[in-house]
Structure 1
């Protein structure tokens, strides 16, 4: 495994701007693009959701965490952004329904192994993992399969994969399976339409921020639909992970909004129930996004959770 670097800047919408992108060979033919911020000694790894890139963790959330002493690490999962993309054709709606996978189709366990590979490259024995949506599923899987590598776990707006739990609303499914964007403008319009639907109804909708993030996504990875399709197949291929979550030993915080149309709040309830000692916190008015108004509360929740975990754990964590 190896590490390399190159400059890459993104702008707008309170998302990641400037800085140095790093490339890490995490093994098995996968290279992840990541970015670090903050000079603190507490490693905090943020794992993005379906189709998201590292800049979907807003700077306005990451900067206060860095100021609190965290070494904040964001990265592009496989098949998005500047990380390794797979060349096989993603499954269509019928394939997803019938669970017909390409022979090279990966699952959440593979993506969890990518995350652990990144920890290896960075020389981290363990880290505090925070994942949103699909990123929460990946973080859960790392905690279950690599317990010594996870100092604490925070699962945000995610679920267990159990049937009839944490499922998108029918209206959300219809938007998800719309025609893929053919150009940058269509991609931005599609993102605005989706986020207007799944956004936090208890907070103002910031269309300009969503459009800026979508533009950055396209500029870093034009025509991202195929990678998103393969990631979705990876989630569905993984099935019900409830039993596996019983192996999670890390102190766990589960965070969810009560207005989520992408991952029904039942996903949070089941996640907290499946992990011994997990604490569930519901943020009123939050949907399936991270609006500015949520950042202070989420920062406080994360900091309190991690420092509580550190106070009862080994000194190196």
Structure 2
């Protein structure tokens, strides 16, 4: 792994495969670290003659934290959104898209295949909107256009995401992570329980930044819907969404694919809102042909 300065921030990244091959950039979701993209998934893509880059978004993992921006007042943010007042947040998803553009510049990558999951899918969409010349293709996984009229999360998913660990002790955070996955994970592609526990512990011990999570969450909540911009996207697009996603219901995937001209939609039975190893095997099977068709 290595660091570079992007958009005046230090970002941690790791790459697989030959830099001379077409690049695939993996953009993680809310609170997810680069290691949440399974190594085997990255290697499977690289084996098809692609250069794969995974990285920690700002405020998470080993990338720079923005503690000086404070902890967002989520209650106030919700009030502002309800009244139509401009939300006050530490930064926006457009800033995180600029981070990706800066990462590419730092790695001397002119254009890449952009693959984002959840919040990362929103950032990938913004890349296609604001930096179309930097994209060979777009893949939006378990994400949304931000359309305010889409179905909400299930009550159970909303409740667990608004909860918190019993304490900041590692084992309490690991237990909380297991509870979250029980609710939003993929029922048809379940983690091995011990492997999931080990993975969550590895993430927590690598870096645990609840304040960074909240700043990312605020950026997601304050993001403007991309409903009017996505119809102008000309980048070849694949939309993947789980039929069993309780956090971002699959209507969001259908909506995204409808908005982007000629987008291909893959709805996956048994897929929830996680990146289990078993699910990623299936995601690779869907993703690689899309990448290969748009080299």
TM-score range, shorter chain: over 0.9
1:162-221: CA deviation from partner (whole Å, max 9, x where unpaired): 113263222111111213541211110111100111111123342223222221222222
Q: Which residues of 2 match residues 161-310 of structure 1 at below 5 A?
A: 161-165=146-150, 167-180=152-165, 181-222=167-208, 224-310=209-295
- TM-aligned CA distance change 1:235 to 1:204, over 3 Å: closer
Q: How far apart are 1:160 and its partner, in Å?
A: 0.9
Contact 2:121 2:143 in 1 (8 A): yes
2:10 to 27, 31, 38: 31
Q: Give SS of 1:79's match.
A: coil
Instruction: Name the counterpart of 1:111.
Output: 96
Q: Give SS of 2:136's match.
A: strand
Instruction: Name the counterpart of 2:28.
Output: 48
Distance 2:219 2:91 in 1: 5
Q: Which residues of 2 match residues 54-69 of structure 1 at below 5 A?
A: 54-69=34-49
2:77 to 93, 96, 100: 96
- TM-aligned CA distance change 1:91 to 1:170, over 3 Å: farther
1:33-82: CA deviation from partner (whole Å, max 9, x where unpaired): 00001126010100000000000001121111111111110000001011
1:133 aligns with 2:118: yes
Query: Which ranges of structure 2 fall in alignment gaps of 5 or more residues?
Result: none
Query: Which ranges of structure 1 fall in alignment gaps of 5 or more residues?
Result: 1-20, 311-317
Q: How far apart are 1:102 and its partner, in Å?
A: 8.0
Contact 1:48 1:134 in 2 (8 A): yes
Runs of 4+ residues over 3 Å off in structure 1: 99-104
- Aligned pair count reads 288
- TM-aligned CA distance change 1:129 to 1:62, over 3 Å: same
What is the TM-score with the length of structure 1 in the denominator? 0.86
1:250-306: CA deviation from partner (whole Å, max 9, x where unpaired): 100000110001111111011101111101001111111123333333212211111
Q: Give SS of 1:46's match.
A: strand
